[in-house]
Amino acid sequence: MARLKIDYGIDLGTTNSAIAVMDEGKIKMHRTDTQRDTMPSCVMVTKKGFLLGDKAYAQLSKDKKKVFTALDFKSNIFIEFKRTMGNSVKYKTDDKIGIELSSEELSAEVLKTLKSYIDNESVKSAIITIPAAFEMNQINATKKAAELAGIEYVELVQEPYAAAIAYGVESANKNGFWLVFDFGGGTFDSALVKVSDGIIKVIDTEGNNFLGGKNLDEAIVDHIFLPYLKEHFSIDSIIENQEKLTAFKEMWKPLAEDAKNQLSYKEKYPILTNLYDEYGEDDEGEEFEIDLTITREQLKEVIEPFIQKAIDYSKDLIKRNNLDGNSLGELILVGGPTLSPIVREMLEAQIKKPNTSVDPMTVVAKGAAIYASTINNTIEDENVDASKVQLHIDYDSMVASDETFVTIRTKEEDRVVFAEIARGDDAFKSERVELNNIGEVIELHLKSGERNNFSILLYDEKGNKLECEPHSFSIQPDTALGGATLTHTVCIEVFDKKANKQILKAIKGLEKDKTLPAQGVFNGLTTRKQIRPGMDDFIDIPIYQGIPETKAISNNHVTTVRITGDDLPKLLPEGSIADLTLNFTKGSDFTGKINFIDIDFEMPLEISSNESEVTKDWLEQQISETERSLRNIDSPRSSEFEEKLNKVKSIFENKNTEAGRLETRSELQKLAREIEQVEKLNEWPNLEEVLKEEFYRLEKANNDLGNENTTQVVNQFRSQLDEVIRAKDIKLGNVLLEEISGFFVQLTLIYQLVGFIRNHNENFASFHWKDSSKARTLLNKGMQIISENPTTDELHPIVISVIDCLEEVDKPGENVFGV
């Protein structure tokens, strides 16, 4: 029998994954082959296929030792690939197996294995959870993984929202604000949830895709194990070799993770490596071993900065919503690290005492299953029992009231039957109604405080009982779902005349925290060039997720929509007006259309997020640009920014992996946004200073070279300058600056032309020329004219021709010398 609802929820985690199902009104965790509720998200590739979960993870520590002790060894075990979802990175096996796998393909193997734990049923529809901070390319990659795993229909739900649902179903508290503190193995999310009369809705989120339990393991290795090993062994050659040092650290991480977990329950934990474990030798040939005891206080000292960072995210989230810890009804914990007393004590001291009534390891999967029980299953069952009457039922499985309605009909056109619906406690039974393929609406009364199970009783015209499919369903009263939300504002990059630069503008209706599904519209886009039908002409519309009114480089690029001449039925003139519409579904799929007003033409848009690639060269360029930005700002925060940039460089230099480069990009974007905020504060003072300098320069030039007409223009500029300074109007200031600079060039054009020729003549070899021979001839001619009382009419055409000989990189800016 096909399920009425999807029912299956999957927590696809960085370190651990789990699958849960709603069965007959109860949540059931499907246990792994080792009888655990969760399985490690660990894939081992063999010649025969794939080995997953605990069996693969048991081999991981051995492989980590081999990677260090035998540098030519290549491990075929892969973990933490969720961190590179939606990225172009490939995970390569050794030469004997000779294959490479994407993050999506590895995640698909995890999903297949979770599905295999379900007996007597094929999972073709599921709800899969994702971090709230996931970007669009990561969302689409997760859907691709589901497709590769044979899941035909999938919706994605944010992990903290799923946790809130699981808690909300059991909680007697049906009003107020909750904070979900989701510290997972590889990601951190904080979500503010509003519950109103049992309706659960996420109203704001904050997070970091590169903050999680793995950071704690690294800190234990860096600050406890490495100092011990430096003291007791000779490891200079390892420290000096980045590749060997990385392998050396990785080798000790399983011990670090074990210590972290043990100290969640114990005040101290002794670590003694086994004699038969081979950890290699130091520079003097002595075998490595660790024999030390770690206390919880020592652990707190090294992991506290990371926990504090997560708490700071949460405090910022609460503060920007005008709340504090006392305003929260509940603080819900998610993720293995939150089992630690250290985390719980820090949260209680700074925000609120956490609620520990739910299992932080399984709450996300359970919440996903509850959410799945509210979504109609659209996948038809291939095995239909023809001996039973087949029914179609439509109902809400979670409602905030104590009454609801169900629609029920037969699937056969000519079949007439009679139906009653009875509640499981026998305290309610509906009237007996006649059913056909058109259907009937039946009112149900619910018992508050528990899930209500209902049976469908079917009869023929003579009152004989009939068997039917489905024959039962369940409804959860007192609680309803307010829907998932957008975690980032969707923007497009446009040229802002006021700011005189390219910035992001929000698409109205697709702002952060809008409930899905949602529609956004951007009216009044203006084309900057013409598009000829049937030609290669094109216009691009870059779409981003991020913060409006900031530079694109500080945000995440989703895709660029390209419209070419092949798409248009007629000429689209320069300056044409267009309206862009984007639609987001509950599952974060999005479609769009664009309407060109001037030619009365509307076309659908195919939109898919790009697979991102963060290269070393690109990051080096961005770091250099950030350094330049820092040199150009005068702020009390300059030293703070320098320190943050040094931390970014440290991540870049010490984590030479794709995940490390993604983390570098993420931290660099945060820093770039902070610098941009300071630049905005300085924008008017800087512009005012430049305006005054340019005007005084023009005034001096006019005194030396001007006449009555030019003096009149300069006086007009003086009046406009006074007005702009009084209003502190950046838009008008930029316009005025352009006009003053343009008039200065006109007034002093002869000197500009002479300077240009002399500069390019004296520094000829330092410029990039398309035609150096022609350029040399032109400059010689220009120098000759300069020596003979030159005029503008003589020099101007020579300068224009010299500019044509220059490569693009060395050409002067737009509108210089009339170019």
Hey, what are 499's tokens? 């700011």
| Cα-based torsion angle of the residue sequence 79, 83, 88, 90 in order, rounded to the nearest 10 degrees | -10
Q: Is 782 a domain residue?
A: no
Q: Is 324 a domain residue?
A: yes
Cα distances (angstroms) measured from residue 716 to each of 709, 711, 724, 740: 11, 9, 12, 11
Residue 654 lies in a domain: no
Report residue 417's pLDDT band, with 50, 70 and 90 as the boundaries: very high
Which whole number is the average pLDDT over 504-530? 90
Among 481, 502, 534, give the residue marking a domain's end. Answer: 481
Residue 816 has pLDDT above 60, yes or no: no
Cα–Cα distance for residue pair 586/516, rounded to 1 Å: 5
Kindly state whether residue 155 falls inside one of the protein's structural domains. yes
Is the link from the previous residue into 470 a cis peptide, with omega within 30 of 0? yes
Do residues 192 and 340 both lie within one domain?
yes
pLDDT-derived band of residue 819, with 50, 70 and 90 as boundaries? very low
Q: Does this model's pTM top 0.85?
A: no
Question: Domain for residue 398, yes or no?
Answer: yes
125 and 154 part of one domain: yes
Per-residue pLDDT at 498: 62
Please write the tens of the pLDDT for every residue from 764-799.
Answer: 988 989 999 999 999 999 999 988 878 888 999 999
Name the token pair of 664: 């570098």
To which residue do tokens 């900057």 refer?
528
Q: What is the pLDDT of residues 270-292, one digit of tens each?
A: 998 876 678 888 999 999 999 99
Question: Do both 470 and 553 map to the same domain?
Answer: no
Per the domain annotation, does 701 fall within a domain? Answer: no
Average pLDDT for residues 730-749, to the nearest whole number?
83
Residues 180 and 149 in one domain: yes
366 and 400 fall within a common domain: no
Does 773 reside within a domain? no
Q: What is the mean pLDDT of residues 745-756?
A: 83
- CATH number for the domain including 512? 2.60.34.10
Q: What is the pLDDT of residue 664?
A: 85
pLDDT beyond 90 at 401 = no
Whether residues 173 and 73 fall in one domain: yes
464/332 same-domain check: no
If one counts every other C-beta atom within 10 angstroms of the C-beta of residue 458, the result is 20
Instruction: Indicate which CATH number applies to the domain containing 421.
Output: 2.60.40.10
Residue 502: which domain range?
489-613
Query: What average pLDDT does range 146-159 have in this prediction?
Result: 94
Give, in order, the Cα–Cα distances in Å from 268 to each of 62, 258, 298, 341. 26, 12, 9, 13
Q: Can you tell me the distance from the alpha carbon of 723 to that of 743, in angstroms, rounded to the nearest whole number?
A: 19
Average pLDDT value for residue range 324-328: 94
- Total tally of structural domains belonging to the chain: 3
9-23, 311-325, 681-695: the lowest-pLDDT one? 681-695
DSSP 321: T
In a domain, 624, yes or no: no
Q: Where are the beta strands (DSSP E) in 361-476?
A: 389-394, 403-410, 417-423, 433-435, 440-445, 452-459, 465-466, 468-469, 472-475
Provide DSSP, 599-640: TTEEEEE---PPPB---HHHHHHHHHHHHHHHHT---TTHHH
What is the rounded distance in angstroms from the CA atom of residue 89 to the CA atom of residue 106? 12
The domain that holds 361 is classified in CATH as 3.30.420.40
Question: What mean pLDDT comes out for the span 514-520?
Answer: 88
Contact by Cβ (8 Å): 191, 203: no
* The last residue of a domain, from among 613, 641, 671: 613
Q: How many CB atoms lie within 10 A of CB 275?
A: 8
Q: Is the same domain home to 101 and 120? A: yes
pLDDT tens digit sequence for 554-599: 888 888 888 999 999 999 998 899 999 999 887 777 889 999 999 9
- Among 386, 387, 437, smallest CA distance to 412 is for 437
Higher per-residue confidence, 655 vs 455: 455
Instruction: Compute the average pLDDT of residues 654-683.
Output: 79
> Of 123, 189, 201, nearest to 160 (Cα)?
189
Residues 184 and 35 in one domain: yes
Most confidently predicted of 65-69, 198-202, 407-411: 407-411
pLDDT at 302: 95
Both 565 and 541 in a single domain? yes
Predicted pLDDT at 612: 67
Instruction: Give yes or no: residues 30 and 136 share one domain.
Output: yes
Longest dimension (CA), the chain: 119
Contact 125/147 with Cβ under 8 angstroms? no
Q: Is the pLDDT of residue 126 over 90?
A: yes
- Tell me 223's DSSP state: I
Nearest CA to 301 out of 364, 227, 202 is that of 227
679-733 pLDDT, tens digit each:
777 777 878 888 899 899 888 888 877 788 888 988 999 999 888 888 888 778 8
The predicted pLDDT at position 275 comes to 63
Q: What is the mean pLDDT of the chain?
A: 89
